[in-house]
Every structure is written in structure tokens, then in C-alpha cells.
Amino acid sequence: MAIGVGLLGLGTVGAGVAAILMGPEGRHPLVGELALQRIAVRDLERPRSLNLDPQLLTTSPEAVIDDPAVEIVVEVMGGLEPARSLILRAIAAGKPVVTANKAVIARYGEEIAAAAAERGVYVLIEAAVGGGIPIIEPLKQSLGGNRIQRVSGIINGTTNYILSRMADEGAAYGDVLADAQRLGYAEADPAADVEGHDAADKIAILAGLAYGGPVAREAIATEGIDRLQARDVAYAAQLGYVVKLLAVAQREGEAEPLPLDVRVHPTLLPKHHPLAGVHGVNNAILVEGDPVGRVMFYGPGAGAGPTASAVVADILNIAGIRKVTGSQAGAPLDPLLAASSWRRCELVDGSATSHRNYVRLQTRDEAGVIGRIGTCFGEAGVSIQSIVQFEARDAEAGGGAEIVVITHEVRESAFRSALAAIDALEEVRTVAACLRTL
Amino acid sequence: MAIGVGLLGLGTVGAGVAAILMGPEGRHPLVGELALQRIAVRDLERPRSLNLDPQLLTTSPEAVIDDPAVEIVVEVMGGLEPARSLILRAIAAGKPVVTANKAVIARYGEEIAAAAAERGVYVLIEAAVGGGIPIIEPLKQSLGGNRIQRVSGIINGTTNYILSRMADEGAAYGDVLADAQRLGYAEADPAADVEGHDAADKIAILAGLAYGGPVAREAIATEGIDRLQARDVAYAAQLGYVVKLLAVAQREGEAEPLPLDVRVHPTLLPKHHPLAGVHGVNNAILVEGDPVGRVMFYGPGAGAGPTASAVVADILNIAGIRKVTGSQAGAPLDPLLAASSWRRCELVDGSATSHRNYVRLQTRDEAGVIGRIGTCFGEAGVSIQSIVQFEARDAEAGGGAEIVVITHEVRESAFRSALAAIDALEEVRTVAACLRTL
């Protein structure tokens, strides 16, 4: 017997999902057992490329959820509200939910998970992170034997597209952004992408699954690429690095609650790092655990087809487990698929963490400057890997010298105090850029 | 209540699994619900690094399977027999099986799957391909909405280690192999790895899951790296390619049974291909499907820790679904996790397939040779991408010229007839090498 699916939203992703369900040939046979029962749209009259029975469409998302023929609710409308309320309504009705909505899950994941656990239904979110890349289910179902040490990833396609073009063309951020907007790779309002908020939503979700407990989304240190300068991308390349917007969730000990360092920022990666070769709108997530070592998941981070593939995977998982349990809500849940949290996590204070840094200084072009900078670092206990003076007599460099320092791994607090001392040096005009380095 | 696990084998992988089960802290809490009940070993007296209760050990694998406290049987002994018979015995006893045994699954997968389906138990095989990389479960559970076009991968760590060193050092195959044997990266008898049989086992398994029907293991065209010469690796690099041992399963149409081209051979990959950057003993599998596009799974392809991670993932999946169904064998199976086949597949005749080729010819060093070679290709309808004469006055090249041709995508039959005509040319001493190219 067919399993009824209701869609909330028929935008890019929703249409992609509908297209798969309407053309099951050559896909897993379970796809052929799914039947699109009802679709909530904003505008009934809008022309659509899909050949849909108009009777399926309604402007009422509540009507989709409440339709007795709808057994799985798929939320692909986006935004915080009414998406959150509709997800909760579906759960309350005992209907499993599939959502691609990273913003809702990152912010209201605990509330939604609690409601789902109480009602005994699944809420699956494969499409919320990494587009078509299977990453949520592998974290839940394939790595449970590991102690996860770090999850790091390129999980925003727009910024990776911009950074790839900045690196390839030596172009300025603003120019590439404008071009990306023209080509549809960036939104008219690009803030969520370029300021790192989208990546922060996603790393919050990944960290919650990898470490087994929710993390406070609003406490994630987030820096975007909107202030990144082309010269830093160029200097990084000369030093053997690629600049990527990295989202990282790293375990900082064994205590209870588990201390985690979770952050989003432009980062210098060594050219041979597995994430350094991820170009354009692709995404990749690297998971490091004991005893698995390093595994990486790579693929298209956005787009109708890839995201629809992930949404349908979730629908299939719900349909598959229904074969075991029947359709009754409230049956026992598979703890891996349900991914209930099992540990408390706590974000650590960033100043207590350690990492490598890239610093660009604009200085007077005179002898002894490098020595004095080195001394400041040394007095603060900051060990330096390299210090290089670049030829930079253009106006942007202020007509002086540009000095780039890459440190070894040092405590953030020590690094900041060294930087304050350097900034106070008479020969140093400004600390022009400061980036994390792997 | 604890779930009893029985191990068949306590070698590298078995010991890795035991170590995880004996140290559940910091892993998914379901690990803590697993209890090692019985372990079959060859030699009770052998010293072991694990602090195991000697009462757990037995030399009888049958005793492990038949032990009423053992609810999940983990086969990590390897080899075809008695592994196959023991897996079937466990199934007959209504006990789910986890195995890392690619040789058994590639050869007896149909028999085992039929027995498992009839008895209503799961047989999970994540560790059989790609070591610690989650690839079996994602194929089963995360890509079902797709029509898979191609699965290609570097799925043998030993050969990838050898090829990486040949490329980095310009070293000869035999020298690197000897070194790899000394370092433990290659077996004393390296045939299964270097002749491509191990990779063929694994691509048979991946193809069966990706396309939903078993493929005939013995019919897979298999060529190893044992006749690969250092000069071809070097010429490939000069032309912008990396040589990898690739296993490929590609759909060749839509007919029923589904026509598949499945093969293993050294292959030239363009330097920027996602698989080209996979170095050393790492593995990676690229899956191309509609609508997901290209997704890649990367990680350590072998080793105790990674493989144990995959085995434990399977144990956890069985334990997780038991929370839903209870422990009774014969309950309905989740069709995704059970991965029963749903379509017939058929391997196509290789001469009817099309691909790009790399050919190295040793010829007399005289004017007009390139023209005559080009004419032979042209008359057979084989379009050429590049034809390059290399300086090669060393003895191995016979004192003449070496000419490397890279073709466009051409039918194998046309290519072979062109090659026969070229081999018959008076100026051509020998067709010294012939490799596939992506």
C-alpha cells in the first residue's frame, strides 16, 4: 500500500522532491511506494514546470499536515516561522517529519527533538547540511563506535564559490560577490552566507550529532569572509595555503559536560589538506575519530537535485522502518535513526583554546622591524613558524612594508597579548589581517 | 539488557572490535549495551594485548554461534571457508551477522542474502569495502532516490600506496612492492592486491548495492598494476594525469536486465579529478547519480581501527533496530538495511563499451612515423586527443623513439583494430603499454 507524502513548499527543493516521487523508475523500489498526497504552495496560480494534478495543491500548510492521507510531512519551505510551528504540529499529529531547514533545526532542534521523542516519531534532517552529501545519516548510523575528536568542513557553497574565484583570479571579494549574485550563486542579501551564519547553523547541527548533545547555536564564534582581502588570499597561496571558510567543532577534553570549541572563520589550509581541494559550490565534511581516523564526505552542497536526493533519502528511511513497525506513531524508535542526545556539551571560552595564526602587519619599511615584532611574540611565549616580508609598495599597503607572520599552535590569550604589544610598536602602522591557520 | 556479541576471529580486526566493545566510554551509549560473550580463536595460548577473560575464548567457531548468549555473530576470520559455512550456520540459527569478508560476499553474496531473507535476519557488510569509510550504508540508506550512473573508486590501499610512491619517487614497481612488503603494507603473497582481485571483489559488492542486483564476480574484467612501468607513470604525469588502480561499475543503458560495465584496471585520471588526490593507503569511492550529482566518500581503506569502526557500526545498526522489533528473528526487515536485490543486472561485453585510452609505442626514430600512426587511428575512426614523442634514448626504449597517444572516447573494438594495424607497421617496434584514461 502506498505511503502518503505531504510537501510543505514547492520551491526549488520541493519541486526536486516531487520530480523524484513522480518518476520512480530506475530508483529504489521503495520510491514507487510513496504517493504525493498534498502540497502546500504560496500561490496556486504560479506556472510550474512539473505536471502536477492541481487538486494536490493548497495554500494551507495546516491542511497538508491534517490530511489523513498524509503520513510523512516534508518541510521544504524554509525560514523560522511558520516552519517551526508546522513541524511541531506534524509531530503532535503523530506524523514523522523530514526537513531541509537548517535554521530551524539549529535554533529549535532541542524543542523539536523533545516533542518528537515524546510522541514517538522521527524527524530526519539529512538535507539540512551538505546538500546531497550523505553526512547526517553516516554520523548517526556509521560512526557510533568512535570517540569523535573533530568535525570540520566547508559547508557553505556560496562562500566557497567566492573564495575559489578569489584564489583562481586574484579578484577582490566585492567583485566576485557581485558576479556570484548575477549568476545566482549568491542571494541578493548575502549576509547569511558571507557572514558565516549559515555555516554556523550547520556546524551546530553536526556538532550536536557528532558529540551526542545539543550546542548553543548563539554562542558559536562566527566570522565571515566579508572582510577578507584579496592580498591575504594571494599571500597565503605564496606560503602554500588555501583560504577556506571553515566550520569546526572540536573536543577540548573529556569532562562532563563535554567541552567543545565550535567556530566558523576563514582559515588557511595547507595545500595538501583534504579540504583544500574542495572547489566552487562543493562542500566537504571531515570527521576525525578514534579509532576510525579521518573520513571525508564530499559533494554538491546545494541545488535542487542534490538537496532533493537527501530529502528523499530521509523519506525512504521512514518508509523503510515503517515496514518493520507499521504506521503507528509511538512505537519504539531506533535510537540511531532518532538520534536522541545522550550527553551534555558546553562551548568553551575561545581565549582558552590553542591554534595557529596568520597575521599581516603593515609597517614602516626600515631595518629592525622584523626583529622587534619577533621579540614581541617571543616575550608573550608565542612561537613563530615563519615571518616573511612581502614587496607591497602599492597604495593599499600604505607605501610601507607588509610583513606576514605564521605562528605555531599557541593559546589565543597569549597570541592576543602579543598582538597588542605589536600594535603599540611605533614602526607598526596596523594589524591589517588576522586569520586562523590549520 | 545487554546484547550478546560473538566474534569469529581475533586477528587485527577482531581485536579492534573487542577493544571498542571493552571501552564504551565516550562512544554512542548503545556500545555500552553490547556484551562480548564468546570469541573463537585459532590458538588459545597466543599472547594478546587485550585484557580478555580467558573464559570467553574457544577454538570452536560453532560453539560461538550456538551459544544462546550470542545474539549477533561477527565474522572477522576472513577466507572463503569455513567463513561461508559459519555465516550460513548463524543465519540458520536466526542470528544476524556482521562480516568484513569481501571475498565471501563477492562470491556467495546471493546465497547468503537468500538465506538471510528467508530466515528474516540482517547480514551487514560495511567493513567489507573501504575499511572505515561509511560507503555501504550510504549506498543502501542515503542514495535510494537516485538513478546511479557510475560508481568508481580507489578501493585497494596496497596498490594505491605502491602507485603513490611510484609517482612521487619515479620508482619501479618491483622496488616499491618489495619495500611495501617490508613495511607491512603488502602481503608476502601480494597477488590478490596487485593483480586487482581484491578490488574486483569490492566493486562487485558496490555494484550490487548501487544497482540493486547481484553482478557476476567472475566475469569482471580485471587488470592489476603488476605490469605497470615507471615510465608510463612518469609520462602520464607530464601529460597532466595520475595513474590509479580504478574499480568502475557503470550503467550502459536502461534495459532489463540492466547492462553494466564493471572492471578494474590502472587508469589515467586528470590531475584535478577528485580521485586523483587520494594518496597512500587511503581509499575513496565516487558515486554519480541523478539527481544527486557526484558525491565522494574518502578515508582509511584498511587497518585495525578503521575496519573495527565499520564492524561496530553494523553491530550498532542491528542493536538499534532490535530496539524496535525485539530480538525475534523472522520479524519484518527494513528493506533499506536488508538491501535485498530488486533488479537483474548483466555485465556487458567489454568490446562494445567506449572509453579513452593511453597507448605507448616504441618506434623507429624517423620522420613520418607519427603521421602513419595517426592515419591508422583515423582509418579505424579513432579520434586522437594528443600524440607526443618523448625523448627516450635509454636501453629500455630500444634506442628508438617513444610515442604516447591519448585518444578521445572510442569504442573498444575500433580501438583494438587500430592498434592491430599500428602494431603491423614496419616502423613500430612494439605496443609497449595500453591504459584506460578518464
pLDDT single digits (tens) B68-100: 999 999 999 999 999 999 999 999 999 999 999
Helix (H, G, I), strand (E, B) or coil at A248: strand
Asked whether the predicted pLDDT for residue B372 surpasses 60, the reply is yes
The mean pLDDT value of chain B amounts to 95
Give domain status of residue A346, yes or no. no
Rounded to an integer, the average pLDDT of B44-62 is 93
3-state secondary structure of A420: helix
Note whether B193 and B82 are same-domain residues. no
Is B51's pLDDT higher than 80?
yes
Give the number of domains in chain A: 3
* Domain termination residue (choose one: A300, A330, A362): A300
Mean pLDDT on A279-298: 97
Q: Which cell goes with A217? A: 547555536
pLDDT in tens, A153-194: 999 999 999 999 999 999 999 999 999 999 988 999 999 999
Do residues B287 and B317 share a domain?
no
Cell digits of residue A260? 567543545
Nearest one of B175, B225, B217 to B195, comparing CA atoms: B225
3-class secondary-structure state, position B121: coil
* A216 vs B408: CA distance, rounded Å: 54
Mean pLDDT of A412-430: 95
Alpha-carbon distance B305 to nearest alpha carbon in chain A (angstroms): 5
Q: What range defines the domain where residue B66 resides?
A: 3-132+304-342
B172, B288: one domain: yes
Q: Is B102 a catalytic residue?
A: no
pLDDT tens digits, one per residue of B408-424: 999 999 999 999 999 99
Same domain, A308 and A407: no
pLDDT tens by residue, B389-399: 987 666 665 67
A298–B299 C-beta distance less than 8 A: no
Checking if the pLDDT of A392 tops 90, the result is no
Annotated active-site residue in B202, B244, B271, B323: B202
Query: A321-335, B56-70, B407-421 — which is least confidently predicted?
Result: A321-335
Cβ-based contacts of B334 with chain A (< 8 Å):
320-321, 323-324
Beta-ladder partners of B238: none
**Same-domain pairing of B187 and B294:** yes
Res. A393 pLDDT band, cuts 50 70 90: low
Residue A58 has pLDDT above 90, yes or no: yes
Task: Return the biggest CA–CA distance within chain B.
Answer: 82
Please give the share of chain A, as a percent, with pLDDT higher than 90.
89
- The three grid cell numbers given for residue B161, joined into one nine-digit string: 600506496
Query: Number of helices and strands (H, E) in chain B?
Result: 14, 18
CB atoms within 10 A of CB A111: 13
Please check whether residues A122 and A96 belong to one and the same domain: yes
B434-to-B173, B293, B391 alpha-carbon distances in Å? 16, 30, 19
Q: pLDDT tens for residues A118-152?
A: 999 999 999 999 999 999 999 999 999 999 999 99
* CA-based nearest residue to B207, from B111, B87, B341, B324: B341
User: Which positions ≥6 away from B52 have C-beta within 8 Å?
Assistant: B18, B22, B36, B39
Is B159 within 8 Å of B279 (Cβ atoms)? Answer: no
pLDDT of residue A426 exceeding 70, the answer is yes
Are A49 and A151 contained in the same domain?
no
Tens of pLDDT, residue by residue over B348-365, are 998 889 999 999 999 998
DSSP, res A82: T
**Could you tell me if B1 lies within 8 Å of chain A, comparing CB atoms?**
no
Task: Please check whether residue A317 lies inside any domain of the structure.
Answer: yes
Question: Tens digit of pLDDT for each residue in B255-280?
Answer: 999 999 999 999 999 998 999 999 99
Which pTM value belongs to this model?
0.96
* Predicted ipTM of the assembly: 0.95
DSSP sequence for A334-388: PHHHHT---S-EEEPPGGG-EEEEEEEEEE-S-TTHHHHHHHHHHHTT--EEEEE
Q: What letter represents residue B288's amino acid?
A: E
Residues A85 and A7 in one domain: yes
Q: Is residue A243 located within the same domain as residue A284?
A: yes
**Helix or strand (DSSP H, E) at B241:** strand B241-251
Contacts with A147 from chain B: Cβ below 8 Å: 26-27
**How much is the pLDDT for A96?**
97
Over residues A359-381, the mean pLDDT reads 93
Mean pLDDT (whole number) for A334-362 = 94
pLDDT at A398: 64
Residue with grid cell 576470520, as numbered in its chain = B77
Question: Is A34 contained in some domain?
Answer: yes
What is the model's pLDDT at position B291?
Answer: 98
One domain for residues A143 and A204 = yes
Nearest to B126 among A142, A315, A336 (CB): A142
Q: Which residue has the cell 532542534?
A: A109
Whether the predicted pLDDT of A395 surpasses 70: no
> Of the residues A315, A341, A367, which one is the last residue of a structural domain?
A341
Instruction: Looking at the complex, report in whole angstroms how far the Cα of residue A358 sits from the nearest Cα belonging to chain B.
Output: 26
In 3D space, the residue among A206, A192, A195, A223 whose CA is nearest the CA of residue A129 turns out to be A206
pLDDT, tens only, B124-137: 999 999 999 999 99
CATH code where residue A416 lies: 3.30.70.260
CATH at residue B178: 3.30.360.10
| Pick from A60, A121, A63, A112: nearest CA to A87 | A112
Contact A336 B320 (CB under 8 A): yes
A392: in domain: yes
Residue B182 and residue B274 in one domain = yes
How confident is the model at residue B140, as a pLDDT?
A: 97
The grid coordinates listed for A299 are 559533494
pLDDT at B50: 87
Q: Tell which phi-psi region holds residue B407, choosing left (phi > 0), alpha (psi between -120 and 50) or beta.
A: beta
The answer to whether B364 and B429 are in contact (CB under 8 A) is: yes
Among the partner residues A145, A304, A313, nearest to B143 by beta-carbon distance = A313
The per-residue pLDDT for A400 is: 83
Considering the candidates A95, A102, A140, A202, report the single residue annotated as catalytic.
Answer: A202
